[in-house]
């Protein structure tokens, strides 16, 4: 069947990387963007379909680079609402260790649906819980991703340093290095797609300095090099973590990262808050990416990521909502607003514009995932788009359409396209029984707590 050509005609506004005026619209051919049209310009080729976009603001599909989908089952849980990272984790680990495959599947569907409705087209997840019975957690995630039609970078997380050996997680939540590496290689062989348009990719993601051994960090770096994969972990999130690294390894976090072979362009780090100027320079020189997670960092009172210094040094910066036990939403357009405001507190209003924050959520995030086929509206790139309408009460009286999305608090896209396919239409996900999903997910969340 020949590829369909569609003209998204004359949008209200278009967010293009170089501020190119594309108010004539976009031409989509098959799964790619074929043309960007100036105001008044018409498509070069006849189109099979015309979509009137006059009420829509067009963005590249937003890209989320850090999450823990399973945590949607433990949102706003009273015992940890007012806790910082370490006690928050220590209370939650035993709950999470009871997770079943069915519960995980529901949690993934909820997180992905929520992301999709917020304009997200590619989602990275960091899953590091593989208790008995949940050894095939990533397979469960792949199934949920395929069901909803987003792209995903599923990070095969791991924990190998339990309490008995001086780590933070309970012993029954950790796996042996051998089991972790064997499963990682299996997943890469089975699911990892390469090249433009990939839907599912696998990354290697030991959880954090306080939950894994040096050996698994080194072995993951070697496997990533051998199989050409991305590396992901939490780093420099809190001062507790820094103290742990100094005490256990005699190293600050970035020295530790370098010592295990991770200071390079394959790596992207969640949080990246507590760096000194020398460390920022080294991260930039290495091209190591940082995923900024503003809501989580505010909720756990972890600190503020030095985004502008990192970018000035050469480190790519992207955005992540982080897990739903510390956000507790999975809404990427609202997270972009949080990034705008939190970073203004650090760097001032003039430096941090809505366009800069949207740049983190799109092409910045794409760089963290090592992708040059998504994250921008440009000819030849994948047709991954988020369309927002400004017809809600909250936008009434607004003037600049791109600014209005963040300043007026957009929280829901009207339409989302992934690889030329509409995955959100009039704010709804075709084929998904949302009410049924919410009912099942709420029940699973209660069951998880009751099982303790
Ligand atoms: Zn996280």
Burial class (CB in 10 A: 0-12, 13-18, 19+), 265: middle
| pLDDT at residue 452, as a whole number | 78
CA distances from 314 to 31, 253, 286, 288, 368 (A): 32, 19, 8, 9, 12
- Is the predicted pLDDT of residue 197 greater than 80, yes or no? yes
| pLDDT at residue 57, as a whole number | 98
* Cα 174 off chain centre by: 24
Q: How far is the CA of 66 from the centre of ligand 1 (A)?
A: 6
What six digits make up the tokens of 172?
Answer: 């029954």
Q: How far is the CA of 90 from the centre of ligand 1 (A)?
A: 14
Q: How far is the CA of 164 from the centre of ligand 1 (A)?
A: 23
Cβ atoms within 10 Å of 208's Cβ, excluding its own: 25
Q: How far is the CA of 237 from the centre of ligand 1 (A)?
A: 9
pLDDT digits (tens, 9 = 90+) for 300-356: 999 999 999 999 999 999 999 999 889 999 999 999 999 999 999 999 999 999 999
CA distances from 422 to 31, 165, 387 (A): 11, 49, 11
Q: How far is the CA of 270 from the centre of ligand 1 (A)?
A: 6
- What is the widest separation between alpha-carbon atoms in the chain? 68
Burial class (CB in 10 A: 0-12, 13-18, 19+), 305: buried
| 110 phi-psi bin (left φ>0, alpha ψ -120 to 50, beta other) | alpha
Distance spanning both ends of the chain, measured CA to CA: 54
What residues pair up with 125 in beta bridges, in sequence order?
154
Handedness of CA 288, 340, 355, 125 (dihedral sign): positive
| pLDDT at residue 215, as a whole number | 96
Average pLDDT over residues 362-375: 98
Kind of pairing, strands 385-389 and 415-418?
antiparallel
What residues pair up with 388 in beta bridges, in sequence order?
57
Q: How far is the CA of 207 from the centre of ligand 1 (A)?
A: 8
pLDDT digits (tens, 9 = 90+) for 19-69: 788 999 999 999 999 999 999 999 999 999 999 999 999 999 999 999 999
Secondary structure E strands in 96-223: 120-127, 151-158, 200-206
| pLDDT at residue 133, as a whole number | 94
Q: How far is the CA of 293 from the centre of ligand 1 (A)?
A: 9
The residue with tokens 């031409």 is 27
Q: How far is the CA of 167 from the centre of ligand 1 (A)?
A: 17
Q: How far is the CA of 322 from the centre of ligand 1 (A)?
A: 5
Q: How far is the CA of 324 from the centre of ligand 1 (A)?
A: 9
Cβ atoms within 10 Å of 377's Cβ, excluding its own: 23
Q: How far is the CA of 170 from the centre of ligand 1 (A)?
A: 18
What is this structure's pTM? Answer: 0.98
**Measured between alpha carbons, how far is 116 from 385 in angstroms, rounded to an integer?**
11
What six digits make up the tokens of 403?
Answer: 């600014």
- 62: part of which helix (H) or strand (E)? strand 62-64
Task: Please state at what angle helix 101-117 crosses helix 137-148, rounded to 10 degrees.
Answer: 40
Q: How far is the CA of 104 from the centre of ligand 1 (A)?
A: 17
Q: What domains lie within the chain, and their CATH numbers?
A: 5-60+379-424 (2.30.40.10), 62-368 (3.20.20.140)
pLDDT digits (tens, 9 = 90+) for 341-358: 999 999 999 999 999 999
**Measured between alpha carbons, how far is 245 from 239 in angstroms, rounded to an integer?**
10
Q: How far is the CA of 340 from the centre of ligand 1 (A)?
A: 20
Kind of pairing, strands 415-418 and 421-424?
antiparallel
Q: How far is the CA of 327 from the centre of ligand 1 (A)?
A: 10
What six digits make up the tokens of 264?
Answer: 């390079």
pLDDT digits (tens, 9 = 90+) for 61-87: 999 999 999 999 999 999 999 999 999
Q: How far is the CA of 126 from the centre of ligand 1 (A)?
A: 7
Q: How far is the CA of 325 from the centre of ligand 1 (A)?
A: 9
Q: How far is the CA of 274 from the centre of ligand 1 (A)?
A: 15
pLDDT digits (tens, 9 = 90+) for 86-144: 999 999 999 999 999 999 999 999 999 999 999 999 999 999 999 999 999 999 999 99
DSSP 250: S
Q: How far is the CA of 235 from the centre of ligand 1 (A)?
A: 10
What six digits make up the tokens of 70?
Answer: 């399973």
3-state secondary structure of 244: helix
**Measured between alpha carbons, how far is 213 from 216 in angstroms, rounded to an integer?**
6
């Amino acid at each position: 069947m020949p590829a369909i050509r569609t003209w998204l005609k004359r949008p209200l506004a278009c967010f293009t990387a170089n501020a190119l005026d594309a108010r004539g619209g976009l031409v989509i051919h098959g799964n790619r963007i074929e043309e960007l049209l100036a105001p008044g310009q018409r498509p070069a080729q006849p189109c099979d379909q015309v979509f009137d976009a006059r009420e829509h603001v067009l963005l590249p599909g937003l890209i989320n680079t850090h999450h823990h989908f399973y945590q949607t089952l433990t949102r706003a849980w009273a015992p940890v609402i007012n806790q910082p990272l370490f006690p928050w984790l220590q209370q939650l680990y035993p709950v999470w260790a009871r997770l079943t495959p069915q519960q995980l599947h529901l949690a993934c569907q909820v997180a992905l649906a929520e992301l999709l409705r917020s304009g997200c087209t590619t989602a990275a997840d960091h899953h590091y819980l593989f208790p008995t019975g949940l050894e095939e957690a990533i397979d469960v995630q792949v199934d949920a991703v395929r069901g909803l039609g987003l792209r995903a970078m599923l990070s095969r997380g791991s924990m190998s340093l339990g309490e008995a050996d001086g780590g933070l997680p309970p012993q029954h939540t950790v796996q042996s290095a051998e089991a972790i590496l064997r499963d990682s290689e299996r997943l890469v062989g089975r699911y990892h797609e390469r090249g433009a348009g990939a839907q599912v990719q696998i990354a290697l993601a030991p959880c954090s300095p306080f939950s894994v051994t040096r050996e698994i960090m080194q072995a993951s770096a070697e496997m990533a090099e051998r199989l050409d994969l991305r590396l992901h972990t939490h780093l420099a999130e809190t001062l507790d973590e820094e103290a742990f690294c100094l005490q256990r390894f005699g190293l600050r976090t970035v020295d530790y990262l370098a010592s295990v072979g991770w200071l390079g362009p394959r790596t992207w780090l969640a949080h990246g808050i507590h760096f000194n100027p020398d460390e920022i320079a080294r991260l930039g020189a290495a091209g190591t990416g940082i995923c900024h997670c503003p809501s989580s960092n505010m909720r756990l009172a972890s600190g503020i990521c030095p985004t502008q210094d990192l970018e000035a040094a050469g480190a790519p910066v992207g955005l992540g909502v982080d897990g739903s036990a510390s956000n507790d939403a999975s809404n990427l357009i609202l997270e972009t607003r949080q990034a705008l405001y939190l970073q203004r507190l650090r760097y001032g209003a003039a430096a941090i514009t809505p366009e800069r924050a949207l740049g983190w959520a799109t092409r910045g995030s794409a760089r963290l995932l090592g992708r040059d086929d998504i994250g921008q509206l440009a000819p030849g790139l994948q047709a991954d788009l988020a369309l927002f309408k400004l017809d809600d009460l909250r936008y009434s009286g607004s003037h600049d359409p791109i600014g209005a999305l963040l300043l007026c608090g957009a929280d829901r896209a009207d339409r989302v396209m992934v690889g030329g396919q509409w995955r959100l239409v009039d704010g709804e996900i075709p084929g998904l029984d949302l009410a049924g999903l919410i009912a099942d997910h709420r029940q699973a969340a209660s069951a998880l707590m009751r099982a303790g």
